[in-house]
Structure 1
């Protein structure tokens, strides 16, 4: 099966440089050998059809035309041994705690700015993510980060690095569950000899954490009511919204389903208005309240910010979180961890060049063909240069962009992203992968075991985003000796 498979010069999750399966993959590898080519082909097709039948899709927007697609699925999982997972878990808890303290500080005393750890203009002059409207507000648990999606990669040595923080509306948790569901349905043989951390009870942690944010004015002695606020069925992550609302046992609502009376939020029902205490919103800040943000928004709820300000409703994730996952702030996160926690980062950042600084900008402009350049206001793989794979014309275009708006871009070295086998087109070949880990924060912090492994299914591609041709893999965290979780 793997006669032509090449690992070098990359770190491979499944194989050693001699093409022997690594210890934590050996059981999977030997089970795989029992399948014929026809069986693999049939199972692969069955898996793709399962996603289609269940309506597991996302929307790709290109030149104002939207296309509905199923998420491509690859059946070879990413397997994480227990000692590696212990490191990831500690790193995720540390990072989200520091970022939450940063958000609490930025919207109150701003001590980190007063002490000169982060340039003040990076925060207060940020036109995208700093929301002055919530300055000084008190929120339940002082917790701005209810759900985080932290993107990890592994470099040539296999070292874990944090690529990106997603603290506003991280998507993809539904795919974690559906990847596991399809694996168990189509490839049950793989699970016979593995002891894995399960996903069955993880969404109860999400529900419990949401209800922990009950606002101070909620009626005591009654169960707080939480809802998931969606932009609607045309949003690219709508499947994610539907799945999470169903699994958490809360109502899925749109802005038109909510109304504000006397600065209190109510949901319209056939039995009249019902008070809403907690809103897990999947709408960006700008569209939440046309009275406070964009007046042309038809997605939000007029008066919602004032209800939030008065402590009558909790909004998860917090308004203004974007200032902490801005790509320009990313370069300072190690300093943020040291400042608030007095600890060294457990998992490092990718080295990052700050292009607003003249000496770093000049060096980057001389070496664009070796670097990755990202727009700090973009996501999903858009407005991004991968120097070694770019044409001279693309490099020159980005050179002009950086000179014109240096504050708008960061640069990073091109990392030989780790790879894992994928089965597509009736053959196995190596593909680059990353991992989005989901962190749930309420009265305590819980890291969902595994996460969303994304794979660049286009051979040779470094872009794992589903909108750019990427797909998903199941992620297994092996139980350690004596584990009962």
Structure 2
């Protein structure tokens, strides 16, 4: 039913079956949002339309875009941004932060183990076949010790709030997690459009990410290096996340390079400059494993640097994240995260997994094939929301097709119950009104040699299509500024 509390929210309709982050079960605005609700409620829809256009202009002028690919063409789009922020109180954030750090540390230990002694595999805690069959398990990383002992320097943990009010982890992203630049730009755009709202809340900053990233990367510099030279390597301007690559290089104060800008000599990496070669010690890479070195992986790669992996194996350069980390963010490995955390840290998970069926297990495969309308089917090695099938949205023909795909390659698929992501008031351009939209949260954790850092905010992603549960920008999603309140 519509909420009649104020002008700007007068047409807002609440579905009582969903967990609304603004309203409680009695239809009252939650205390944490009351000041914000009053401030926004003082604006008419016409005022808000103008502010929304101002925010869009801010994104356009900053060049904040992303690429969307389909079968026919590539499109560049402005990243959709909603001006009404999401608020997380200090107590809830403490749980999220501790849970994100716990998972990152456990995954780092897991990666070291499976590329060295394989104790967790030998003891049968995680099946050997699960790892050996992963496309992202790199035999070239066997017995390689990354500088500082860190594999997953940057982790992106995707978290939802369910209708029971609890947080659950949907997946871990530790190859090249993206989106952090949008966190910072969301804050900038909101301050430009509605600076006054920040006077009423004490929120943690998000603009300290780059300095912490550089600091923690430098903590895992190669041995014998006093003042490391760091670069960000990008596939180039046509990559979907190129804006982020350039933004992070700029804010860290380091060079943004492509593979052709680097070369290897005597197992050391150098950057070509107008003043001659400059040694490179740390590379924050935004290039997939198979493209980083044509001498070691794909011979046809024009994106990487010949000899880079040999320099890395000798400890002469740090690669962040380490090659081969993708085996640990395989969605099939995700099903073992509670066991992985218990095995390496002797702790219970702080953040729960969503119950997940792995189709390589015969009993679970049989269940999935019989209950597809009740499940979300995910390929284990895709990202960006691609390849996901939501069972209750499928036609009979589509269900038949999904069944066939699963049966042909069970190892490639997992399934989860259709979780009811929390909803948040979101301004919709087409209707010029606020409507309920599903949201999730991607946190960003950085591991260093002796310390770690979690960005106090993260990326709240919004599914802009009514009823949609897929929040990725590549699938038409947008984002909100995320306020973590100081205690």
Which of the five TM-score ranges fits, normalised by the shorter chain?
over 0.9
Quote how far apart the aligned CAs of 1:217 are: 4.5
Q: Deviations over 1:390-449 (max 9, x none)?
A: 111111100111111111100000011110000112101000000000001113011100
Aligned length: 476
Q: Equivalent residue of 1:272, what SS? A: coil
What is the CA distance between 1:64 and its match in structure 2? 4.3
TM-score, with length taken from structure 1: 0.97
Is the contact made by 2:292 and 2:308 (CA closer than 8 Å) also made in structure 1? yes
Q: Say which of 99, 115, 125 aligns to 1:91.
A: 99
Pairwise CA distance, 1:176: 0.3
Which residue number in structure 1 is paired with residue 456 of structure 2?
449
* Contact 2:148 2:221 (C-alpha < 8 Å) held by counterparts: no
Query: Is the 1:402–1:409 contact (alpha carbons within 8 Å) kept by the matching residues of 2?
Result: yes
Give the Cα separation in 2 of the matches to 1:359 and 1:149. Answer: 31
Work out whether 1:428 is the aligned partner of 2:434.
yes
Matched, 1:132 2:139: yes
The answer to whether the Cα contact below 8 Å between 2:66 and 2:240 also exists between their aligned partners in 1 is: yes
Match of 1:265 among 269, 293, 303: 269
CA distance in 2: counterparts of 1:421 and 1:25, whole angstroms: 11
The equivalent of 1:385 in structure 2 is 389
Mapped contact 1:278–1:315 kept (Cα < 8 A): yes
RMSD of the TM alignment (CA)?
A: 1.0
Partner of 1:189: 196
Looking at structure 2, the residues matched to 433 and 259 of structure 1 have their Cα atoms a distance apart, in angstroms, of 43
In the other structure, the counterpart of 2:407 is: 403
- Give the aligned partner of residue 211 of structure 2: 204
TM-fit CA distance, 1:189:
2.4
Residue 416 of structure 1 pairs with residue 423 of structure 2: no
Separation (CA, whole Å) in 2 of partners of 1:240 and 1:202: 13
Counterpart in the other structure of 2:483? 476
Alignment of 1:139-154 (within 5 A): 139-154=146-161
List aligned pairs for 1:237-248, cutoff 5 A: 237-248=241-252
TM-score by length of 2: 0.96
In 2: Cα distance, 1:468 partner to 1:139 partner = 35
Task: Indicate the residue corresponding to 2:38 in structure 1.
Answer: 30
What are the superposed Cα offsets for residues 329-357 of structure 1, whole Å, 9 maximum, x if unpaired? 01001110000011100000000001111
1:279 partnered with 2:283: yes
Q: Is the 8 A contact 1:177 1:199 kept in 2?
A: yes
Paired position in structure 2 for 1:330: 334
Instruction: Quote the Cα distance in structure 2 between the aligned partners of 1:200 and 1:179.
Output: 11
Partner of 2:313: 309
2:257 to 239, 253, 259: 253
> How big is each residue's C-alpha offset from its partner over 1:278-315, in whole Å with a ceiling of 9 and x where there is no partner?
11100000000000000000000000010001111110
Check conservation: 1:31, 1:189, Cα contact below 8 A.
no
SS in 2 for 1:265: strand
8 Å Cα contact 1:11-1:158 kept in structure 2: yes
In structure 1, the gaps of 5 or more residues are: 481-485
**Structure 2: tracts of 5 or more residues without a match:** 1-7
In structure 1, distance between residues paired with 2:57 and 2:394: 35
